[in-house]
């Protein structure tokens, strides 16, 4: 267990081997149903809006493509006539009478242009950008092009407003994409934040950013080492480990005011790896108050401390299931660090991983049925990949494959995306991907960045 402490070496470990079947865990998380085929032609803009169409189109397409909800129709398959308004659709006239093999007489763009080959789309997002009262305005519509007429095809039409700038174009694109995602039962991520550790200032501090990597902001300024951030389920509080007072201890900040909140750290050489309970009323963490690092639970202000684990081994990284009642954590009680599960009262301890390799960084899926974690099995010491485990069946699916060290997975609120850290680009940076291992996206580049946690 010499490598388990995150402040001595990175808090990233991982291991397990179980027969995984045909990506059963990925299917459980992502769903196996056929995806809607969505066509998203480039929007045009009039006047001063025209200069912002490039940013808008890129943002809209990326949001929809990376949602994982759609099969995006290739633009090379689009018909030449692209509607900008519902009024642009013109139903074909009946074929001329008494003419052999006569076809309907085309009058303009029509629904079957998109639903028939080569596009084979089921849905179409279209519209245009304009300027009104010195504001950028998006007129956006979503149509089900498998319908027989325009009135039944329209799922929604809406106007969106933003500043007349590139940021305004991104804003309205995010909002339109979010409405489309909601239409198909998805959960938009535009209002969420990713919190992470960065050393770009010369010290390890906590930072935040949007899910697309924009607006990266420094949240702490202790000019020391901060690590292992955690966010409350309601997105109002941030807990983390810091060396600001020499020994590692837990600080909690309000994400609404930025101020530090009261938290009593019991006397110990180390209090670390905090995690909130789903209701935010309590915090679990690891402490050496008893000698070995053990799992403790306390009220949100640090009062009412109670010890949950009691073994002569290092135990860290407690994470409470979103359903409550169960905790996963990392322990060396059986030798190399493995992932264990226990009740919130410390009872019914059982090992989830088989003992092969090393395992760490467990993160609960919002459903409370699946965890993501890091694993070294099959690789030389120091190399890690990310996996999913169905906790009930213990089945496992692999997400990353031999591209450097991949660790610290954290679920997005939609349960379809993961943030993680990886050195695949040369240094440790924050990446996101879909929970099936696709749609990889690098979010950071300055300094070394690690330990992301995705919050509301």
Tell me how far CA of residue 65 lies from CA of 261, 411, 434, in angstroms.
Answer: 40, 18, 11
What's the pLDDT at 329? 98
What's the pLDDT at 5? 47
Distance in angstroms (rounded) separating the CA atoms of residues 266 and 250: 10
What's the pLDDT at 136? 98
Instruction: Specify the CATH number of the domain 24-30+188-455.
Output: 2.120.10.30
Distance in angstroms (rounded) separating the CA atoms of residues 455 and 255: 11
Distance in angstroms (rounded) separating the CA atoms of residues 76 and 65: 16
CA geometry: angle at 128 spanning 137 and 143, to 5°?
Answer: 115
**Residues spanned by CATH 2.120.10.30 within the chain?**
24-30+188-455
Token pair belonging to 140:
């956006």
Q: Tell me which DSSP letter residue 172 carries.
A: H
Q: Is the Cβ–Cβ distance between 49 and 399 less than 8 Å?
A: no
Tell me how far CA of residue 72 lies from CA of 27, 69, 89, 336, in angstroms.
Answer: 19, 9, 22, 44
Token pair belonging to 143:
């149509």
What does each of the 456 residues of the chain score in pLDDT, given as a tens digit?
A: 444 444 433 333 333 344 444 589 999 999 888 999 999 999 999 999 999 999 999 999 999 999 999 999 999 999 999 999 999 999 998 887 767 777 778 888 999 999 999 999 999 999 999 999 999 999 999 999 999 999 999 999 999 999 999 999 999 999 999 999 999 999 999 999 999 999 999 999 999 999 999 999 999 999 999 999 999 999 999 999 999 999 999 999 999 999 999 999 999 999 999 999 999 999 999 999 999 999 999 999 999 999 999 999 999 999 999 999 999 999 999 999 999 999 999 999 999 998 888 999 999 999 999 999 998 976 655 689 999 999 999 999 999 988 999 999 999 999 999 999 999 999 999 999 999 999 999 999 999 999 999 999
What's the pLDDT at 39? 98
Neighbours of 292 (CB within 10 A): 18
Domain 37-91+109-183: CATH superfamily is TolB, N-terminal domain (3.40.50.10070)
**Residues spanned by CATH 3.40.50.10070 within the chain?**
37-91+109-183
Q: Is the Cβ–Cβ distance between 444 and 194 less than 8 Å?
A: no
């Amino acid at each position: 267990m010499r490598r388990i402490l995150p402040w001595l070496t990175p808090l990233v470990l991982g291991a397990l081997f179980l027969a995984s079947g045909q990506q059963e865990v990925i299917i459980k998380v992502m769903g196996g149903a056929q995806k809607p085929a969505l066509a998203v032609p480039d929007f045009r803009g009039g006047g001063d809006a025209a200069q912002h169409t490039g940013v808008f189109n890129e943002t809209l397409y990326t949001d929809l493509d990376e949602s994982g909800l759609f099969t995006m129709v290739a633009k090379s398959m689009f018909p030449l006539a692209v509607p900008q308004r519902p009024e642009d659709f013109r139903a074909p006239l009946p074929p001329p009478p008494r003419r052999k093999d006569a076809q309907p007489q085309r009058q303009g763009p029509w629904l079957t242009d998109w639903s028939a080959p080569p596009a084979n789309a089921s849905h179409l997002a279209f519209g245009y950008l304009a300027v009104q009262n010195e504001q950028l305005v998006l007129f956006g519509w979503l149509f089900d092009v498998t319908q027989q007429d325009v009135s039944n095809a329209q799922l929604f039409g809406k106007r969106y407003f933003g500043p007349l700038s590139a940021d305004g174009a991104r804003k309205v694109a995010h909002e339109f994409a979010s409405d489309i995602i909601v239409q198909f039962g998805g959960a938009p991520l535009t209002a969420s934040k990713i919190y992470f550790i960065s050393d770009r200032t010369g010290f390890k501090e906590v930072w935040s950013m949007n899910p697309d990597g924009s607006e990266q902001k420094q949240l702490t300024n202790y000019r020391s080492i901060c690590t292992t951030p955690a966010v409350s389920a309601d997105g109002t509080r941030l807990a983390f480990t810091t060396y600001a007072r020499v020994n590692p201890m837990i600080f909690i900040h309000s994400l609404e005011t930025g101020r530090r909140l009261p938290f009593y750290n019991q006397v110990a050489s180390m209090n670390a790896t905090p995690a909130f309970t789903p209701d935010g009323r309590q915090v679990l963490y690891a402490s050496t108050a008893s000698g070995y690092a053990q799992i403790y639970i306390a009220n949100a202000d640090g009062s009412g401390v109670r010890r949950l684990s009691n073994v002569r081994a290092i135990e860290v990284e407690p994470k409470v299931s979103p359903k409550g009642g169960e905790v996963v954590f990392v322990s060396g009680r059986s030798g190399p660090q493995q992932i264990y599960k226990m009740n919130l009262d410390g009872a019914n301890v059982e090992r989830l991983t088989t003992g092969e390799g090393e395992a760490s960084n467990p993160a609960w899926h919002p459903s409370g049925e699946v965890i993501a974690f890091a694993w070294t099995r099959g690789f030389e010491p120091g190399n890690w990949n990310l996996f999913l485990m169905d906790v009930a069946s213990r089945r496992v699916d692999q997400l990353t494959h031999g591209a450097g060290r991949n660790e610290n997975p954290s679920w997005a609120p939609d349960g379809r995306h993961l943030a993680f850290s990886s050195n695949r680009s040369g240094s440790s940076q924050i990446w996101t991907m879909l929970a099936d291992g696709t749609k990889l996206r690098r979010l950071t580049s300055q300094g070394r960045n690690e330990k992301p946690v995705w919050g509301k």
